[in-house]
Structure 1
């Protein structure tokens, strides 16, 4: 195993040493897109192997939902690649340029980060998204998918390598680790710092926590998505109802799903209870504090302190009453994970205070938290969402997968 992984790292470094122009990048991506269309039935066949095994070992429902590929999801993969092709090449661009009084000319130039290692679970579309984004930004990528999506990931990565090969580009810009041994992840995180420049984990809490705890390589990612939607006293009832139902139930298995609803105590009776009733009718379990339980007459469980920091990833939501905007902000900053948080209000001043006050990497106004996605941001896709305080923050797409260098020129200047 050690020798195989070291070889993968060395090959990635060799690929990184071979710059590729924008035309060639887009040609590879166009050919990859065509191969996905052409091999759609084969991709679905390989995915079925993974899904059958997942059902056999009784994988959690939310993980199986992420794992399944179908016509709609393959179309989503294709659309994502098409968007990435359209986007401007983010590297070798002049970000800033200035001249000093002494004649020195400074240029800040965008460059690739280097070799990126991505460790992920369940979602096969991560393979195509990450490979496409990393390649377009000039970063070789080492993919370590979960064993539950082994066959799906392998076919998607193999097709990318074929697209590289027919365009006479080093295939090792994209490498998939097809070793199922769990020790692979430990080795990547602790013994590959000479080869991998950044690690991006995408998966459940246990995976991300492990990566953050033991990695000797810088990481980009988030631990959990405990997202909030706060319904203010000045909220429009129709907007509040529409946004809350979507934010919680459109797709409960994504990190951008709302997990806690905060209701201003002045609107609980007016229309807050109606929103909760609608959620319950749609199959959502309500967990509420004492004030909510006194007012809401539907089926409701008592909330504990632990519920305020839970990422349910299912049709379950915790609901808390708050007295005012500041209490909502304080709750979010205490129990949230700096992922995505929303305020619903007609009051622009209140909205501004919320947007500036929460620590979230994504703060929203009158908008479903389900939009916390690189594709929705116009990034063509994402390699993940970062809740780090240091950049990049939020969805990490094409323009976030770069670093920069300074170039300094003069006419023989020397420092006195």
Structure 2
């Protein structure tokens, strides 16, 4: 079957399914999610076996180490998937909620009510957990999903999707609520982005810069997502040394391959003598490469001298750029110039500095005295996330259940006519 016929059949099936899923009660939705947990537990060995095949193939193809790391499933990561489903079960159905209700002088009652977006296309690399996360979030929020995962997790994505479809069928619900494109040719992605506007309401890309850029350049469908996670931490003149060491270390090295990993450290000149070496020595001893400006190199000889490009780079590995700034204003200006509107954090005991940073930094997630690695839907209490959005328009930050809804106006009258 040609790609246009294949994808358009998926699109038509998704539209049909989206017209039926809106009628499901929260009880029925939660029953599906509980059954999905049971199915994952029952098939854990098969899931791990499929993932082993994916990782083996990825290594043969010499796929980048950070992509392989994100593609791995193990007992802990499967348990994390299960915990995400349990959290989503606890959350209220976000659809058909009255956001506002007003009565006009002429007696008309105007209500603003949440509704599903419709059909969501998700294109992603690695991270087979995304298959489960997107399936549960889209389903509970009343949306249908067309998924296109990367070849590096093909078998893992396939089994996780098929298990969800099996459960839908078991519960007498149209299994086409969730569909996976099982073609690996990249031409299918091009067609999905440029010719499926009649079927897909929004596209969510999750992956590296090249994938997201391609989606943004080609898509004729609205896009929710972020191009890069170039995150910053600013260590203020009133920052605790112990907190700075602990937070910066975690933000950089807990998991270097995720979009919430810090890439640039900004440090106030007043604490260079007390804070810089303890922080950099801790990172360096753990295998992190330090790239710094002239002041950093002066104090830490093992640092490489930073170039302009380093302030623009999302490393996604054990490398960090470090710059000394004269003031909080310079730190904020640096973030506005080089940041990607993802996540930024300030370490300070000054309420005034903290509030200034939180007010003036315009990224989708702004933090105080904590690690940027918390930039995650699960950590925000959303159960799971479809991705992180750095768009200035809705939605922003982690995209969970509520962010997968739109709204409509319902107007109730008693025969009023307009003069």
- Name the TM-score class by shorter chain: over 0.9
**Residue in structure 2 matching 1:15, options 4, 17, 22:** 17
Residues 357-376 of structure 1: matches in 2 within 5 Å? 357-376=360-379
Q: Identify which range, 19-28 or 360-369, moves more after superposition.
A: 19-28
**Residue in structure 2 matching 1:92, options 91, 96, 101:** 96
How far does residue 4 in structure 1 lie from its aligned partner after superposition? Answer: 1.1
Counterpart in 2 of 1:2? 4
Counterpart in 2 of 1:355? 358
Structure 1 consecutive aligned stretches of length 4 or more whose deviation exceeds 2 Å: none
Query: Does 1:396 find its partner at 2:404?
Result: no
How far does residue 411 in structure 1 lie from its aligned partner after superposition? Answer: 1.4
After superposition, the C-alpha distances for 1:1-53 in whole angstroms (9 at most, x for unaligned) are 21111110000000011121111111111111100000000000000110000
How far does residue 286 in structure 1 lie from its aligned partner after superposition? Answer: 0.2
How far does residue 148 in structure 1 lie from its aligned partner after superposition? Answer: 1.0
Distance (whole Å) between structure 2 residues aligned to residue 240 and residue 357 of structure 1: 21
**Residue in structure 2 matching 1:55, options 59, 65, 87:** 59
TM-score (norm 1): 0.99
After superposition, the C-alpha distances for 1:311-355 in whole angstroms (9 at most, x for unaligned) are 000000000000000000000000000000000000011101001
**Residue in structure 2 matching 1:208, options 189, 207, 212:** 212
Distance (whole Å) between structure 1 residues aligned to residue 25 and residue 198 of structure 2: 26
- CA RMSD, Structure 1 to Structure 2 (Å): 0.6
Query: Does 1:178 find its partner at 2:152?
Result: no
Distance (whole Å) between structure 2 residues aligned to residue 100 and residue 322 of structure 1: 55
Consecutive unaligned residues of structure 2, counting only runs of 5 or more, are none
Counterpart in 1 of 2:388? 385
Distance (whole Å) between structure 2 residues aligned to residue 156 and residue 268 of structure 1: 49
Distance (whole Å) between structure 2 residues aligned to residue 216 and residue 287 of structure 1: 39
Counterpart in 1 of 2:414? 411
Distance (whole Å) between structure 2 residues aligned to residue 399 and residue 183 of structure 1: 32
Distance (whole Å) between structure 2 residues aligned to residue 303 and residue 186 of structure 1: 37
Counterpart in 2 of 1:306? 309
Distance (whole Å) between structure 2 residues aligned to residue 273 and residue 97 of structure 1: 57
Q: Identify which range, 269-278 or 187-196, moves more after superposition.
A: 269-278
Query: Does 1:283 find its partner at 2:287?
Result: yes
Query: Does 1:146 find its partner at 2:150?
Result: yes
Distance (whole Å) between structure 2 residues aligned to residue 208 and residue 371 of structure 1: 22
Query: Does 1:159 find its partner at 2:132?
Result: no
TM-score (norm 2): 0.98
Residues 62-77 of structure 1: matches in 2 within 5 Å? 62-77=66-81
Residues 239-254 of structure 1: matches in 2 within 5 Å? 239-254=243-258
Distance (whole Å) between structure 2 residues aligned to residue 271 and residue 374 of structure 1: 31
How far does residue 105 in structure 1 lie from its aligned partner after superposition? Answer: 0.7
Counterpart in 2 of 1:237? 241
Equivalenced residue count is 415
Distance (whole Å) between structure 2 residues aligned to residue 325 and residue 388 of structure 1: 25
After superposition, the C-alpha distances for 1:187-243 in whole angstroms (9 at most, x for unaligned) are 000110000000000000000000001100000000000000000000011111111
How far does residue 374 in structure 1 lie from its aligned partner after superposition? Answer: 0.3
How far does residue 272 in structure 1 lie from its aligned partner after superposition? Answer: 1.7
Distance (whole Å) between structure 2 residues aligned to residue 271 and residue 354 of structure 1: 20
Consecutive unaligned residues of structure 1, counting only runs of 5 or more, are none
How far does residue 55 in structure 1 lie from its aligned partner after superposition? Answer: 0.8
